[in-house]
Amino acid sequence: MASPTSQRTNKFTTLRLRFLMIMLLCHTPHESKLFSANQNHQKIFSPPPPPQQQQQDSNPHAAFDTLDLDGHFSFQNTAHASRDFGNRFFFRPAAVLHPKSVSDIASTVKHVYEMGPLSGLTVAARGHGHSLQGQSQADGGIVVNMESLTRRPSQGHLRGGGGGRYVDVSGGELWIDVLKETLKQGLAPKSWTDYLHLTVGGTLSNGGISGQAFRHGPQINNVQQLEVVTGKGEVVTCSEKQNAELFFSVLGGLGQFGIITRARISLEAAPDMVRWIRVLYSDFSKFSTDQEHLISLDESFDYIEGFVIINRTGLLNNWRSSFHPKDPVQASQFVSDGKTLYCLEVAKYYNSHHDDALLQQIQGLLSKLHFITSTLFVSEVSYLGFLDRVHVAEMKLREQGLWEVPHPWLCLFIPGSKMDQFASQVFGSIVTDSSNGPILIYALNQSKYLILSHQYDQFQQQKERTPT
């Protein structure tokens, strides 16, 4: 997620942006300051201390014995905090903080700040450990285990009001748990990531994109308020109208402006069921045109996503375990001839007792598309089952020993006007049939994604008008 300033600069560059996420296919250098799309991260950077200072601080116990905490530090069992989902970099911290209160985090960060740059200590917030290049690690520093700081949403504030329906949740809470608790009230957050076993603070520090982002914007567009521990150890509540500069900096700020300890998330009425549809294309231009057509409609699918398939024998047969071809005879006759295929994945939400109007609407939307007619696959699943679909795939990979492997992921924002050229060069020549990582393509309405920049513009204008 770019800074508010760079968002404003690019605001009128293109009508739409297409978000391309390439996973397991690309390698990024260690020096890169890229952050995972899934990790709440905050480091206080300081220059290396001189040798005498390093010797003085070799015992981390002494440096933090004076802190009065509700939680505790772990100085021995720190190995788990030296790795992350990227599984490529391993930096062992001097200690792991297991906070039981926000004040634990604030006291620790403040203490490190007051120790000054000569301490050489860094602080990194670790949620579910889904950073990719060691960003949630702190070599010889302090890792804050954010999952120790949880408060079930049912114990928070699940209610409506002047700002609409919302829920207050801990920054260390997993999105899957937020979903399960809000569903008990018939409500749910509006925008998601594909994988829900991530912390709230983690995805909000990055952006949070899935197939709902074309309509609601990323997750950071659906936050009413934050509680943040700053780099000085101050606990600050911020929103669009209160401490707005911090609010807009922290959302998508890659953890460089503070640690998110609480978030107020906007909610909407939750559906019961999902009609989940996949169709295939052999022509990228048709795939791209259809994707952009769907996100431009006022009445469209509720979820729109896509992915690239370096085709393998038996793909459609694998889908039949959870999807049903509209025409089984035609589907069995489809042969890809080893071509690169593009899958458009869409979904329509509904309640259990839907009427024929829903089916007619879906059929009307599909009739305008240009997919290979024999590759229409449909499934009906629960709303919870649909949103948690990637976790099911995770369990299968874990059983095969294929989850704890290196994940050199790369996320790119590409203007819609450049996508055909990009696809031709990358999918047509660089990516080969030996590539086995997923390639996801999200079409985004730029106007939805840059709501934050519009709000930030208003804040800046108000600031300029205010006498100093």
Q: Is the pLDDT of residue 273 over 60?
A: yes
Per-residue pLDDT at 110: 96
Q: How far is residue 182's CA from residue 387's CA, in Å, rounded to a whole number?
A: 14
Supply 340's token pair. Answer: 């690169």
Domain 273-449 sits in CATH at 3.40.462.10
pLDDT top residue among 400 and 323: 400
| 194 labelled catalytic | yes
Q: Which one of the listed residues 130, 168, 181, 290 is annotated catalytic?
A: 130
In the chain, how many H helices and how many E strands? 17, 17
Q: Which two structure tokens, joined as six digits, stand for 447?
A: 């106007």
pLDDT for 3 equals 39
Does 43 score more than 80 pLDDT? no
Measured CA to CA, the distance from residue 209 to residue 21 in angstroms comes to 10
Concatenated DSSP letters of 296-338:
H-SS--SEEEEEEEE--TTHHHHHTTT-EESSHHHHHH---TT
Give the other-Cβ count within 10 Å of 463's Cβ. Answer: 11
User: Which among 173, 177, 181, 305 is annotated as catalytic?
Assistant: 305
pLDDT of residue 131: 87
The residue among 375 and 18 whose pLDDT is bigger is 375
Please give the CATH topology (third level) of the domain spanning 37-148: 3.30.43
Catalytic residue at 305?
Answer: yes
Q: What is the pLDDT of residues 61-74, one digit of tens each?
A: 777 888 999 999 99
CB within 8 Å of 100: residues ≥ 6 apart? 69, 70, 71, 148, 149
Whether residue 27 is predicted with pLDDT greater than 60 in this model: the reply is no
* pLDDT tens digits along 141-161: 999 999 998 775 544 456 665
pLDDT tens readout for residues 364-383: 999 999 999 989 999 999 99
Q: Which residue has the higher pLDDT, 123 or 446?
A: 123
Q: Is 329 exposed, middle or buried (0-12, 13-18, 19+ CB in 10 A)?
A: exposed
User: Domain extents for the chain?
Assistant: 37-148, 153-269, 273-449
Residue 22, pLDDT score: 41
Catalytic residue among 104, 168, 181, 194: 194
As a whole number of angstroms, the distance between CA 165 and CA 184 comes to: 14
Give the pLDDT score at 317: 61
Please give, one letter per residue, the 3-state secondary structure of 260-274: EEEEEEEEEECCCEE
370 included as an active-site residue: no
Residue 56 has pLDDT above 80, yes or no: no
Neighbour-count burial for 409-440, b at 16+ CB within 10 Å, e otherwise:
bbbebbebeebeebbeebbeeebeeeeeebbb
Please list, in sequence order, all residues whose beta carbon lies within 8 angstroms of the beta carbon of residue 251, skipping any fewer than 6 positions away: 1, 204, 205, 220, 223, 226, 452
Candidate from 153-157, 168-172, 277-281 with smallest mean pLDDT: 153-157
Q: Retrieve residue 244's tokens.
A: 């707005």
Gap between the Cα atoms of 446 and 440, Å rounded: 18
pLDDT tens-digit profile of 334-351? Answer: 766 667 899 999 999 999
Whether CATH 3.30.465.10 fits 153-269? yes
Specify the pLDDT at position 462. Answer: 64
The dihedral over CA atoms of 408, 413, 415, 421, expressed in degrees to the nearest 10, equals 0
Q: Which residue has the tokens 């021995």?
A: 76
> For the segment 75-117, what is each residue's pLDDT rounded down to a tens digit?
999 999 999 988 899 999 999 999 999 999 999 999 999 999 8
| pLDDT: which is higher, 18 or 366 | 366
Helix, strand, coil abundance in the chain, percent, nearest 5: 35, 20, 45
Q: Considering only CA atoms, which of 180, 181, 187 is closest in space to residue 156? A: 181
What pTM was computed for the model?
A: 0.83
For β-strands 16-22 and 410-415, DSSP reports them as antiparallel
Q: Tell me what pLDDT residue 383 has.
A: 98
SS3 category, 48:
coil
How many CA atoms lie less than 13 Å away from 376 in the CB half-sphere?
A: 14
Closest C-alpha to 223, from 209, 206, 204 = 204
Q: What is the CA radius of gyration of the chain?
A: 23
pLDDT digits over 282-336, tens only?
A: 999 999 999 999 999 999 999 999 999 876 555 666 666 667 776 666 666 676 6
| pLDDT mean across residues, the chain | 82
Residue 249 clears pLDDT 70, i.e. is over it: yes
